[in-house]
Amino acid sequence: MTTTTASLRQAAPTPSHRNGAALGIGLVVLVGVLAVVCVMSITLGTRGIGLGAIIDAFRDRDDSVDATVIRDLRVPRTLIGLVAGAALGLSGALLQGLTRNPLADPGILGINTGASAFIVTSIALFGLQQMTTYIWFAFLGAATAMVIVYGVASFGREGATPVKLALAGAAVSAGFYAITTGVVVTNVDALNQMRFWQVGALAGRYWPELERSAPFMVVGILVALTLGRSLNGLALGNDMAVALGQNVARTRAIVVVSVALLAGAATAACGPIVFVGLVVPHAARALCGPDYRWILPYSLVLSPIVLLTADVIGRLVLKPGELQVGVVLGVLGAPAFIALVRKRSLAQL
């Protein structure tokens, strides 16, 4: 038994110190890229603002138009994109590690749709308007969708295979979307709110949205970053993970809670943004290999880079108008999704 366990541990991803140093340098470089993207997010838009005006806005606390735009519009928008992007990327990486499904994503598996459906339903039934109250329904909807998808896909001898998870996710997403549509058709307030969630966006997100949603996403991020070794064990299969001394049931429960926090809070703050959680973990895996101890931090940094870059593109392509980030990501993410499907045949999935 000891020999078998030792061999299993050797089978798990264990990069050398040299590779670890290189991956650490790569992560630092990505952090630098993220810093540049954040500066672009604050400076670029329908109204061009120079770096000097940005510094003056925080140093002098003047009431000029540029300073107001920076402090009250672009800074909270950038910070929400930073935190929500990290949350979406990590939730996708967690789902792909838990299900061993390369197509797992909060949007594709219906988790974002579940959160949106519960939010709209709570508005229609209880008249909730503040994020401090309906964010709990977002968590409940995200967790409910994930439990249903995983439960339905687990039926049968093969268990929750990637194909069954994708099909169950599509079915659950369609069901929640039908519920949402039925609610908004009969309720004007819910319809107005549905316009907010129908297309994910960072525009119109201010300090209150950041203050109410960020603490939940930060908790989810901190929990997610501790799961790298556990996900490495699950990648070897449930039996091998148990042989390594891992409590698989507890790991799954922690992942579910973390994904509910991350996807639920991000959806409550920005709407159902898709494709970030699908594409970014693959990009992270291409850069750092199969070790989830590196995939998670790489996804943490890459995701806000992708989200904020898409947001900046949306501001510039239709000046003086603006294209919402959810639309930009849909245009960019759909070809990436098709490429992933073509790369992996159903037999390989």
Q: What is the pLDDT of residues 103-114, one digit of tens each?
A: 778 877 888 888
Q: Which domain holds residue 75?
A: 2-6+35-343
Could you count the other beta carbons within 10 Å of the beta carbon of residue 98? Answer: 25
CATH of the domain at 268: 1.10.3470.10
pTM over cut 0.75: yes
DSSP string for residues in 290-349 = S-HHHHHHHHHHHHHHHHHHHHHHHHHHTTTS---HHHHHHHHHHHHHHHHHHHS-TTT-
Residue 22 lies in a domain: no
Residue 21 lies in a domain: no
Give the residue carrying structure tokens 């992007």: 85
pLDDT tens track for 114-142: 888 888 888 888 877 676 677 788 888 88
Total tally of structural domains belonging to the chain = 1
Give the residue carrying structure tokens 């992996």: 344
Residue 19 lies in a domain: no
Residue 325 lies in a domain: yes
Q: Percentage of the chain with pLDDT > 90?
A: 27
Question: What stretches in the chain show pLDDT beneath 70?
Answer: 1-18, 60-62, 129, 131-132, 158-162, 189-199, 340-349
Residue 111 lies in a domain: yes
Q: Which amino acid is at 344?
A: R
- Tell me the C-alpha to C-alpha distance, in Å, between residue 138 and each of 76, 114, 208, 224: 21, 8, 17, 19
Residue 227 lies in a domain: yes
